[in-house]
């Protein structure tokens, strides 16, 4: 299996648009929108939709609006609005001043509802939610008409106005479209257009106590903004006849709704409701926890917008639902980081190494390459001295077969430094734990090569004990241990599959001096370990905190080569 190449995207949506441009359907205009509901933070699924909508507008010389679908006052908050604006901007999308709110249209939506009543196409219904459910029917049985369905227009107008005035309690009445209770499509069985909710709205305050439903609001908002192609996810396919019905019945300008498959990723959940639950239960450290599939979480983890864009281009746009392997996302992140991340050395679990034959007061500055992928990044000077730290993992007292790193009597190369040979091992008298190694260094091997041509089988990283800085390094693993947590076994639910080891905080790490100057958000490759980023929240001078963005190991390439061998 080979990875699909990235190139100018072609897909069924772009094919529709090209065709519409060719036939002059919207007078040559292309105008899309991204319509988030401000009831949570954006996740990578939303990124797919953002890049699709804004990408199409850019490709076809059109426009794309950012519009908040803020019709539900109880779940929506200003915090979410602000985070969404920040995230869309971070992804590089440009709405060019066209930032709208469905709540801006509440007056017009009300007038259109009055018009529907006058047309005999809407009525005030006194059924409770429970009764309405009983009347609705099922997929196989038609529904029953509401007893209030044939109220005279005048009575409907009067009741609707009084609903607006706040005369009736929440849930006591609704305004419903009069369509067809026998329709095989349940969405057309006299859907509710307005409900009573005596709640303040984050934008309109207490002006309204009736709020329009999503389906009704969405098509009219699209129409008012002159949207041409209203791109949404597949679950709205069955709502399209309703989208069309409202606009046709009201004789309004009519955009075309087009549905595509939403992004699902393995080893995570993607619905805002479930992500909110993880936040509220304290399972994660907020919406921007680096384990979350949210854009703010990924940003905090060190992922760039470019990596997300590359990923979305690779997965493309299709009409059938599928689950994308999270390894593909990790592959895209790794590719992106490799190009940009400056190299540095960090020791996660320090083991002290004393170079017995190195002059005690000597300090040398060794030139280390900043980025082998980018010669223009140059080199930096890293201090080297008699006492070093290496990673505990890089030493075995009794090395297993194929373990080529340091062991008693064995010689290895220090990255950008010298060959060293282990001559003695100091252990804790009580625990037997190795606490210190004594080594000799070969002054002839500066730069990592022996003049006599002798070879070593391993190169390990290191820091100077005296010059290195303490740091905390956080390793993140997949949030869930099951590929599809939503496919739960009997008696379990998705929460049962949370990975208990998704966060490992390593304190007591030692990092080379240059990392002391790292700014929050700055990215590095820790040599031999992975890609890391200074934490946006907790990293400050004097308290260095690095998040692992992604490991160096390329699972996806491994899968590929295994498949090639089969």
Residue with smaller CB distance to ligand ATP, 29 or 262: 262
From 48, 203, 300, 380, residue interacting with ligand ATP (rule: CB under 6 A)? 48
Across 499-560, the runs of DSSP E, i.e. the strands, are 503-511, 523-526, 530-534, 544-551
Which of 43-51, 408-416, 442-450, 458-466 is the region at the interface with ligand ATP (rule: CB under 6 A)?
A: 43-51
CB 342 within 8 A of CB 525: yes
Residue with smaller CB distance to ligand ATP, 183 or 271: 271
CA separation for the pair 459, 95 (Å, rounded)? 50
Residue with smaller CB distance to ligand ATP, 236 or 532: 236
Which of 31-39, 59-67, 406-414, 459-467 is the region at the interface with Mg ion (rule: CB under 5 A)?
A: 31-39
**Which does residue 143 bind out of Mg ion, ligand ATP, none, counting CB within 5 to 8 angstroms by kind?**
none
Residue with smaller CB distance to Mg ion, 105 or 331: 105
Q: Report residue 73 CA to chain centroid gap.
A: 25
Count of residues touching ligand ATP (by CB under 6 A): 15
**Which does residue 271 bind out of ligand ATP, Mg ion, none, counting CB within 5 to 8 angstroms by kind?**
ligand ATP
User: In whole angstroms, how close is the CB of 33 to ligand ATP at the nearest point?
Assistant: 9
CA separation for the pair 270, 288 (Å, rounded)? 14
User: In whole angstroms, how close is the CB of 69 to Mg ion at the nearest point?
Assistant: 7
Residue-wise burial string across 221-252, b where 16 or more C-beta atoms lie within 10 A, e elsewhere: bbbbbebbbbbbeeebeebbebbebbbebbee
User: In whole angstroms, how close is the CB of 343 to Mg ion at the nearest point?
Assistant: 43
CA–CA distances in Å: residue 23 to residues 9, 27, 28: 21, 9, 8
User: In whole angstroms, how close is the CB of 369 to ligand ATP at the nearest point?
Assistant: 40
Query: 313: Cβ–Cβ under 8 A, 6 or more apart, which residues?
Result: 6, 9, 51
Catalytic residue, from 197, 262, 274, 314: name it. Answer: 262
User: In whole angstroms, how close is the CB of 97 to ligand ATP at the nearest point?
Assistant: 20
- Bridge-based pairing state of the strands 544-551 and 530-534: antiparallel
CA angle 219, 223, 226 (to 5 degrees): 140
- Positions in 204-233 near ligand ATP (CB under 6 A): 232-233
415 is annotated as an active-site residue: no
CB 97 within 8 A of CB 62: no
From 9, 45, 399, 408, residue interacting with ligand ATP (rule: CB under 6 A)? 45
Residue with smaller CB distance to ligand ATP, 50 or 437: 50
DSSP classification of residue 543: B
By the rule CB under 6 A, 46 interacts with ligand ATP:
yes
Residue with smaller CB distance to ligand ATP, 272 or 415: 272
Catalytic residue, from 29, 37, 98, 364: name it. Answer: 37
Catalytic residue, from 176, 195, 203, 272: name it. Answer: 272
Instruction: For residue 187, give the nearest of 140, 231, 243 by alpha carbon.
Output: 243
CB 329 within 8 A of CB 44: yes
Instruction: For residue 551, give the nearest of 531, 535, 533, 534 by alpha carbon.
Output: 531
Which of 41-49, 283-291, 397-405, 461-469 is the region at the interface with ligand ATP (rule: CB under 6 A)?
A: 41-49
User: In whole angstroms, how close is the CB of 30 to ligand ATP at the nearest point?
Assistant: 17
548 is annotated as an active-site residue: no
CA separation for the pair 31, 546 (Å, rounded)? 42
CA–CA distances in Å: residue 120 to residues 125, 126, 148, 179, 555: 14, 17, 13, 10, 61
Instruction: For residue 369, give the nearest of 394, 348, 340, 343 by alpha carbon.
Output: 343
As a three-state string, the secondary structure of 192-236 is: EEEEECCCCECCCECCCCEEECHHHHHHHHHHHCCCCEEEEEHHH
DSSP classification of residue 312: H
Please tell me the chain's helix, strand, coil percentages from 3-state DSSP, rounded to the nearest 5.
Answer: 30, 25, 45
HSE of 3, CA atoms in CB hemisphere, 13 A? 23
Which of 33-41, 454-462, 495-503, 526-534 is the region at the interface with ligand ATP (rule: CB under 6 A)?
A: 33-41
Which of 35-43, 57-65, 361-369, 529-537 is the region at the interface with Mg ion (rule: CB under 5 A)?
A: 35-43
User: In whole angstroms, how close is the CB of 263 to Mg ion at the nearest point?
Assistant: 14
**Which does residue 272 bind out of ligand ATP, Mg ion, none, counting CB within 5 to 8 angstroms by kind?**
ligand ATP
CA separation for the pair 300, 445 (Å, rounded)? 41
From 17, 20, 41, 49, residue interacting with ligand ATP (rule: CB under 6 A)? 49
Residue with smaller CB distance to ligand ATP, 323 or 559: 323
Backbone angles phi, psi at 297, to 5 degrees: -65, -40
**By Cβ distance, which residue is nearest to ligand ATP?**
45
HSE of 372, CA atoms in CB hemisphere, 13 A? 5
**Which does residue 46 bind out of ligand ATP, Mg ion, none, counting CB within 5 to 8 angstroms by kind?**
ligand ATP
Residue with smaller CB distance to ligand ATP, 38 or 62: 38
Which of 36-44, 110-118, 154-162, 485-493 is the region at the interface with Mg ion (rule: CB under 5 A)?
A: 36-44
Residue with smaller CB distance to ligand ATP, 143 or 255: 255
164 is annotated as an active-site residue: no
CA separation for the pair 217, 175 (Å, rounded)? 13
- Positions in 237-276 near ligand ATP (CB under 6 A): 262-263, 270-273
CA separation for the pair 451, 446 (Å, rounded)? 10
User: In whole angstroms, how close is the CB of 487 to Mg ion at the nearest point?
Assistant: 22
From 11, 37, 126, 554, residue interacting with ligand ATP (rule: CB under 6 A)? 37
Residue with smaller CB distance to Mg ion, 124 or 213: 213
- Positions in 499-558 near ligand ATP (CB under 6 A): none
Q: So which residues are the catalytic ones?
A: 37, 262, 272
What residues make contact with ligand ATP under the rule CB under 6 A? 35-37, 45-46, 48-49, 232-233, 262-263, 270-273
């Amino acid at each position: 299996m080979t990875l699909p190449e990235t190139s100018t995207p072609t897909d069924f949506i772009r094919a529709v648009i090209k065709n519409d441009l060719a036939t002059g359907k919207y007078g040559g205009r292309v105008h899309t929108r991204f319509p988030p509901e401000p009831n949570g933070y954006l996740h990578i699924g939303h990124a797919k939709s953002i890049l699709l909508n804004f990408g199409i507008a850019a490709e076809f010389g059109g426009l794309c609006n950012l519009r908040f679908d803020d019709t539900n006052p109880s779940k929506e908050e200003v915090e979410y609005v602000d985070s969404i604006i920040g995230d869309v901007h971070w992804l590089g999308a440009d709405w060019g001043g066209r930032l709208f709110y469905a709540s801006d249209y509440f007056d017009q939506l009300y007038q259109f509802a009055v018009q529907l009543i006058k047309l005999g196409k809407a009525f005030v219904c006194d059924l409770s939610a429970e009764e309405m459910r009983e009347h609705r029917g099922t997929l196989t049985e038609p529904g029953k008409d509401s007893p209030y369905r044939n109220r005279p227009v005048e009575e409907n107008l009067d009741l609707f106005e009084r609903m607006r005035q706040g005369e009736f309690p929440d849930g006591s009445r609704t305004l419903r479209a009069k369509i067809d209770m026998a329709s095989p499509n349940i969405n057309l069985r006299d859907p509710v257009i307005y409900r009573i909710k005596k709640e303040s709205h984050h934008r309109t305050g207490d002006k309204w106590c009736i709020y329009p439903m999503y389906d009704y609001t969405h098509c009219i908002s699209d129409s008012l903004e002159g949207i041409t192609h209203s791109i949404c996810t597949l679950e709205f396919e069955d709502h399209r006849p309703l989208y069309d019905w409202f606009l046709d019945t009201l004789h309004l300008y009519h955009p075309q709704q087009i549905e595509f498959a939403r992004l699902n990723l393995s080893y995570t959940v993607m619905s805002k409701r479930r992500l909110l639950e993880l936040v509220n239960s304290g399972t994660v450290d907020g919406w921007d926890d680096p384990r979350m599939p949210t854009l703010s979480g990924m940003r905090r983890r060190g992922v760039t917008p470019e990596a997300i864009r590359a990923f979305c281009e690779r997965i493309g746009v299709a009409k059938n639902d599928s689950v994308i392997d999270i390894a593909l996302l990790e592959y895209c992140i790794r590719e992106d980081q490799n190009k940009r991340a400056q190299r540095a050395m960090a020791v996660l679990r320090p083991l002290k190494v004393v170079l017995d034959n190195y002059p005690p007061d000597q300090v040398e500055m060794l030139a280390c390459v900043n980025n082998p992928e980018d010669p223009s990044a140059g080199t930096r000077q890293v201090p080297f001295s008699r006492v070093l730290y290496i990673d505990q993992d890089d030493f075995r007292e009794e090395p297993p077969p194929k373990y080529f790193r340091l062991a008693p009597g064995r010689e290895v190369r220090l990255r950008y430094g010298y060959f060293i040979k282990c001559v003695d091992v100091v252990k804790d008298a009580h625990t037997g734990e190795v606490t210190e190694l004594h080594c000799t260094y070969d002054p002839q091997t500066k730069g990592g090569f022996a003049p006599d041509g002798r070879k070593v089988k391993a190169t390990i990283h290191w820091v100077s004990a005296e010059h290195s800085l303490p740091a905390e390094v956080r390793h993140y693993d997949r949030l869930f241990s099951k590929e599809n947590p939503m496919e739960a076994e009997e008696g379990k639910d998705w929460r049962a599959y949370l990975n208990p080891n998704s966060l490992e905080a390593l304190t007591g790490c030692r990092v080379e001096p240059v990392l002391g100057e790292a700014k929050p958000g700055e990215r590095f490759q820790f040599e031999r370990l992975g890609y890391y980023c200074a934490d946006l929240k907790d990293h400050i001078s004097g308290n260095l905190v690095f998040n692992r963005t992604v490991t160096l190991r390329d699972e996806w390439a491994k899968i590929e080569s295994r498949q090639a061998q089969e």
